[in-house]
Amino acid sequence: MHFKRLTGFVLVLMGIPAPAVLAKPIFGFGEMLNGIKKTLNQLADVGLMDLADSIQDEVKDLLNGVFPGSPGQPFPAELLHFLTYTAEFASASYCDGIFVVGRKTQCKDPFCPTVTKGNVLTEAYFANKGSADTTGIVALDATTKAIVVAYRGSQSIRNWFTNAKIETKPMPEWCPGCEVHVGFLDAFQEEQTTVVDSVTRLMKNYPGYKLVVTGHSLGGAIATVAATDLRKRGFQVSLVTYGSPRVGNEALAKFISASKPNFRVTHLNEPVPRLPPLTLGYRHVEPEYHIFKGDYPIGPSDIKVYSGTVNFEGNTGFGGVTSFNFTAHRHYLLPTKLSACDDSMRQGIEFKI
């Protein structure tokens, strides 16, 4: 614990994203970390933990001054069922390999019980086609009268390469001054035709249905790009993400935020929504629905709503400016972790390139 907290603090000062220290020792990085670990454990033994905690608190206060955020607002209780139900679709996207177009959308028990029980058909399924390994489904939900596009989070080496493409690309066709994460844009464009064609057909055939685009982690970032593209095409989209990283710069964040409704859900101090770092100009879509309780079940009183493309009162500053809480990243509103379906079908990360 001492090693993780102090290492994260030092790496942040060095400009290195804190979650990098969780990487397994590859490409010689492990030897460097072992050296840092030895040094920092020695520092911890002489009482510098309190100093590190104190400095983190001061850094948070300073950042709050630079990026003043609004206080949290009460969460509308009537939204909880919608966000929980949509989380089941985000979880279902991890069950890749079991979907058949034209048949019932379902997960291995017990990962998305309400979706499995409902009248939901898989209208499109995509996976393992390109360099980004963009994976997900388009579903027709006759139970709630919705068309749902759900993107899977990172489960393969190709997904992680996508995350690592942190440079931005100007998108003047979306809005003036807008820039988007290249990796997330590439991932969306890999299956853009499949998604857009499916949505166009279904919205024509079911004009009274609402359109929901969702995803967890990397899937949330791709969903944000997809929702932006679909909105530019004239579709009304409800965007719901869980643990999504930042997708673009301030101009893009404000543009997407103005195209309501958006539900960016975060949990405790999980680290993924803190990336890519603010220092690279990345900002978040608002509002943020921050779950500040760690255990299931989650009630309306366990969530607060924050505004602002940067707000240190929500996930960004919760529990300090560094975090290694990947357990919180995996758990959103459901009794099982969102990626549990995929984890039950294979061991470890897919290494296909």
Dist. CA 230–CA 200, nearest whole Å = 9
The tens digit of pLDDT for each residue in 56-70 reads 554 444 455 555 567
46 & 84 share domain: no
In a domain, 352, yes or no: no
- The string of DSSP codes covering 279-297 is GGT-B--S-EEEE---SSS
29 & 149 share domain: no
What integer pLDDT is reported at residue 12 of this predicted model? 39
61 & 83 share domain: no
7 & 143 share domain: no
Number of separate domains in the chain? 2
The tens digit of pLDDT for each residue in 271-330 reads 999 999 999 999 999 999 999 999 899 999 999 999 999 999 999 999 887 889 999 999
The more confident residue out of 259 and 3 is 259
308 & 223 share domain: yes
Residue where a domain stops, chosen among 41, 66, 91: 66
What integer pLDDT is reported at residue 27 of this predicted model? 37
241 & 113 share domain: yes
In a domain, 353, yes or no: no
Residue where a domain stops, chosen among 21, 45, 66: 66
170 & 263 share domain: yes
What integer pLDDT is reported at residue 82 of this predicted model? 98
What integer pLDDT is reported at residue 35 of this predicted model? 53
What integer pLDDT is reported at residue 17 of this predicted model? 41
In a domain, 50, yes or no: yes
181 & 256 share domain: yes
Structural domain harbouring 209:
73-345
What integer pLDDT is reported at residue 25 of this predicted model? 34
In a domain, 39, yes or no: yes
In a domain, 284, yes or no: yes
140 & 27 share domain: no
Residues 6+ apart with CB under 8 A from 38: none
Whole-number Cα distances in Å, 41 to 1, 61, 129, 188, 292: 10, 27, 45, 43, 30
126 & 12 share domain: no
Dist. CA 313–CA 64, nearest whole Å = 8
Residue where a domain stops, chosen among 66, 93, 110: 66
42 pLDDT band, cuts 50/70/90, is: low
Average pLDDT over residues 207-231: 98
The tens digit of pLDDT for each residue in 84-127 reads 999 999 999 999 889 999 999 988 778 899 999 999 999 999 99
Which residue bears the tokens 């969780």? Answer: 22
Pairing state between β 146-151 and 136-141: antiparallel
136 & 266 share domain: yes
Q: Is the pLDDT of residue 18 over 50?
A: no
Q: Is the pLDDT of residue 191 over 50?
A: yes
What is the domain-level CATH number for residue 177? Answer: 3.40.50.1820
Instruction: For the beta carbon of residue 324, count every other beta carbon within 10 angstroms.
Output: 18
What integer pLDDT is reported at residue 348 of this predicted model? 46
In a domain, 351, yes or no: no
What integer pLDDT is reported at residue 61 of this predicted model? 47
What integer pLDDT is reported at residue 322 of this predicted model? 81
What integer pLDDT is reported at residue 164 of this predicted model? 87
44 pLDDT band, cuts 50/70/90, is: low
Residues 6+ apart with CB under 8 A from 306: 69, 70, 72, 73, 286, 287, 288, 290, 313, 314
Dist. CA 287–CA 290, nearest whole Å = 9
In a domain, 350, yes or no: no
196 & 261 share domain: yes
What does the mean pLDDT of the chain come to?
84
